[in-house]
Structures are given as C-alpha cells and as structure tokens.
Amino acid sequence: MANPLLEVRQLNVAYGDVRALWDVSLEVEEGSIVALVGANGAGKTTLLKSIAGLLRPLGGQILFEGEDLGRLNTKHRVDKGIVMVPEGRRLFQTLTVLENLRLGAYLPKARAGYDDSLDRVFTLFPRLQERKNSKAGLLSGGEQQMLAIGRAVMAGPRLVMIDEASLGLSPILTRHIFELIVALNGQGATVLLVEQNIHMALKICSKAYVMKTGHIVLSGTGEELLADVDVRKAYVGERGSRL
Ligand SMILES: Nc1ncnc2c1ncn2[C@@H]1O[C@H](COP(=O)(O)OP(=O)(O)O)[C@@H](O)[C@H]1O
Ligand SMILES: [Mg+2]
C-alpha cells in the first residue's frame, strides 16, 4: 500500500519539564478528513504545532509522503504543502481581506499559483470576494474564520490542519464552516481537523483519533466513534465523565 500522506510515529513533545505528548502515533491518508478530538489541554494544538514545525519534539518521527520532516523548519514544511490554520485565526486585523490572502501565498511556489488560488478561494468563499477591500478586523467571526482558511488555501496546501475552526461561532456559522471544509476537501486538500464540536467532526471525517492528557486513547472511523458508548457519554451530549 502507498504511504499515508502524513504519518506521526511515537511522537514525544514537552514544554520545558512539562511533557505534553506521549508516544503519539497517527496516520492521515491522502484525500481524507481526519478529526482529532479531546478535552482542553489534551495536546491537540501541541500535535498540530509539532507537525507544522513550530515545536521541536523530544523524540519520534513525522513523515510526509514517507519522508522524515526531521529538522525541516516551518517555511520548508509550508513549501511542501503543510499548512496550519491556527486557533484564534491570527489575521492581520489592519490589513484588508485581499492583503491577508496575498500573505498566504508568500512562498515562490504559492506566488506562482496566486491567480488560480485566489479564484479557488473566491469560489469557495464568495463572501470574501464581496469584502475583499474590507479590513480583516471589521469582519464577523464567521468571515474571519473563512479568511483564515482562505489564507491557508492561498499557500497551495496538500495538508490543511485546522485548529478549532468553529470556536466562538453560532451553530449556523459552524455548520457553514463545516460545509466549507468538506468543499475544500472535495477540491483535493487533505484535512486534519481539531474540533470541540465532536458530533459534527465525527460526521464529516473518515477517521478520528481521541486524545487524553497527551495520549491517543482511541481511534476509529467517524461512524465507529459516534456509535461508541464512552465517546457518546463523554462528548455527544449524554451524561458521563469527560475523557
Ligand atoms: N506554551 C506552553 N508552555 C507550557 N505548557 C503548555 C504550553 N502550551 C500548552 N501547554 C500544555 O500542554 C498541554 C497540551 O496543551 P494543548 O496542546 O494546548 O492542548 P489542547 O489543544 O488539546 O487544548 C497542556 O497541559 C497545556 O497546559
Ligand atoms: Mg488547542
């Protein structure tokens, strides 16, 4: 079988003396949506940041198309198509929508595909085209999340890692953002999705991993985890202890 697009093997990460990830392993097949769920502090953001090259692991491997990313810095990983949409969006509030999108295509390969990428973003998010000359800081929360994802699309991503896309959004906007993530995936981007909205995440993913205090404690298809009694108790609106 071909290599998965992304493979994390026995990853260990610490902040100083505080260990955050313990022997974390996961696989993301090309073209899939994989969800990563778990309570606050479980280590989800730490895992995404490690894959993006923002944190140095203590040990373990991160392979992209079978190649060890080793000590490649973030810029080189972006150039390979590994792009993160950070929690809290991190937009340039005083720049316009278009200027923020342009910054997403800052590397030479992405710059070469700028016009096509911009077409893709405006097809996915017509609202951004309408507001292209507005300052990012004046957009609604949902529009800002679209812009954060749009900026990632501008980088020409193969793997988009989205951290807490629906945080702070209304149920309607959350649904809309999920539809857009599915559309983005339909255009060929592989998606690794961190979400507190477990039910929706499990519904759109082909595979999911559950994290607890720095460990992967469970994995399966979205359907399997939706049917899992413990997961339902912990996450899907039924009473029980949190994972
Ligand atoms: N910059 C940091 N310095 C020290 N500890 C951190 C830092 N960021 C996260 N942590 C700790 O690492 C653990 C995992 O955090 P995080 O990856 O943010 O979890 P999640 O995204 O699942 O909420 C937590 O115990 C958290 O307190
Ligand atoms: Mg987090």
Q: What is the mean pLDDT of residues 224-228?
A: 88
User: For ligand 1, what atom is nearest to the CA of residue 87?
Assistant: 21
Ligand 1 neighbourhood includes 49 CB (under 6 angstroms):
no
For residue 20, tell me if it sits in a domain: no
Who's near 96: CB < 8 A, 6+ residues apart? 132, 133, 134, 135, 136
pLDDT tens track for 149-191:
999 999 999 999 999 988 888 898 899 899 999 999 998 999 9
What's the pLDDT score for residue 2? Answer: 73
By most ligand atoms within 8 Å of CB, the mutation choice from 12, 45, 215 for ligand 1 is 45
For residue 185, tell me if it sits in a domain: yes
Query: CB count, 10 Å around CB of 170?
Result: 12
41 CA → ligand 1 middle, Å: 5
For residue 19, tell me if it sits in a domain: no
- The enclosing domain of 186 has a CATH number of 3.40.50.300
Dist CA 75 CA 239 (whole Å): 44
For residue 201, tell me if it sits in a domain: yes
pLDDT tens track for 29-69:
999 999 999 988 999 999 999 999 999 999 999 999 999 99
Strand partners, 61: 9
196 CA → ligand 2 middle, Å: 9
For residue 217, tell me if it sits in a domain: yes
Q: Quickly tell me which residue has 């730490």 as its tokens.
A: 46
12 CA → ligand 1 middle, Å: 13
pLDDT tens track for 103-149:
999 888 888 899 999 999 999 999 999 999 999 999 999 999 999 99
For residue 75, tell me if it sits in a domain: no
Q: What is the pTM of this model?
A: 0.93
For residue 37, tell me if it sits in a domain: yes
The two structure tokens encoding residue 196: 């507190």
Q: CB of 190 within 8 A of CB of 5?
A: yes
Residue 242 has pLDDT above 80, yes or no: no
Ligand 1 neighbourhood includes 17 CB (under 6 angstroms):
no
For residue 117, tell me if it sits in a domain: yes
User: For ligand 1, what atom is nearest to the CA of residue 15?
Assistant: 4
The total number of structural domains in the chain stands at 1
What's the pLDDT score for residue 28? Answer: 98
Residue 90 confidence class, pLDDT cut points 50, 70, 90:
confident
157 CA → ligand 1 middle, Å: 26
* 229: containing domain: 29-57+80-235
